Amino acid sequence: SKKGSLLYLSGLPKKLNENDKKLVEIFARNVQIAFDNVLLTKELEDTQREIIERLGQAMEQQNEHGRHILRMVKISQLLAKELGLSQQEVDTLGLSVPLHDIGKIKIPDAVIFKKEQLSTDDIQLIRRHADFGYNLLKDSKRPLIKAAAIIARDHHEFWDGRGYPRGKSGESIHIYCRITALVDAYDVMRHKHSYKNAWTTEQSMEVVLQQKGKQFDPHLVDIFQENIRKIEEIITSYPDFE
């Protein structure tokens, strides 16, 4: 092969007639075509993954969160594994999370970065980012982008139904969204932003426990608390940029 792949066949007789040689050549060519197709598929998947990651990073830089999205991916996948989700679901969640706030590209920076108290109109506009993100992604036929669309729309829904945009509750909220909601909130609490200082692990967990069964899935909160040491290791490993 021009690409440097090697096909090794064992068990062939020492002498091959012309017909056998032709059959082996046809088989080898077909194997090479199949191998090339596998490489092409992986290249497309890697390209899709990198585009999503880079888009998430671009939004991260715009919103001054440093490595917020990277930490969200790592912690979300940790929780998904602990919940017993399949490896495919874990991978899908990790690739979808970077797009959770994609709808904010339609919110003016003047509102996103406003330092004074937000008006009622500002709050309503910011809340629309959930539907904005969903509408940007919903028409895709790709399972990954479909998952990202649901996360974009429903990661502000509350377990008790007090969230937005649709007031969903309990298990009617997709598990991807429940995981994203908890991880997003915790990581924001644990880090400094223009409007707040970083909170300690204890302060942040106190809020999470207060919101157990309210904002957050109670079973997920239990899993989160059981794995807090690993979660904090991720947070320590990926600090924000100075």
List the catalytic residues. Answer: 104
Q: Are 161 and 168 in contact (CB under 8 A)?
A: yes
Q: Are 24 and 9 in contact (CB under 8 A)?
A: yes
CA 131: distance to chain centroid?
18
pLDDT at 211: 98
Residues 6+ apart with CB under 8 A from 181: 155, 156, 157, 163, 215, 216
Q: What is the pTM of this model?
A: 0.78
In tens, the pLDDT along 59-96 reads 655 545 468 888 999 999 999 999 999 999 999 999 89
CA distances from 136 to 21, 43, 105, 153, 167 (A): 54, 25, 10, 10, 21
pLDDT at 1: 40
| Mean per-residue pLDDT over the chain, rounded | 85
pLDDT at 105 over 90: no
In tens, the pLDDT along 5-47 reads 555 555 656 676 777 667 666 766 666 666 666 666 666 666 6
Q: At residue 15, what are phi and psi to the nearest 5 degrees?
A: -115, 130
In tens, the pLDDT along 181-202 reads 999 999 999 998 777 789 999 9
pLDDT at 52 over 70: no
Report the distance separating Cα 185 and Cα 227, nearest Å.
16
- Count, residues in the chain: 242
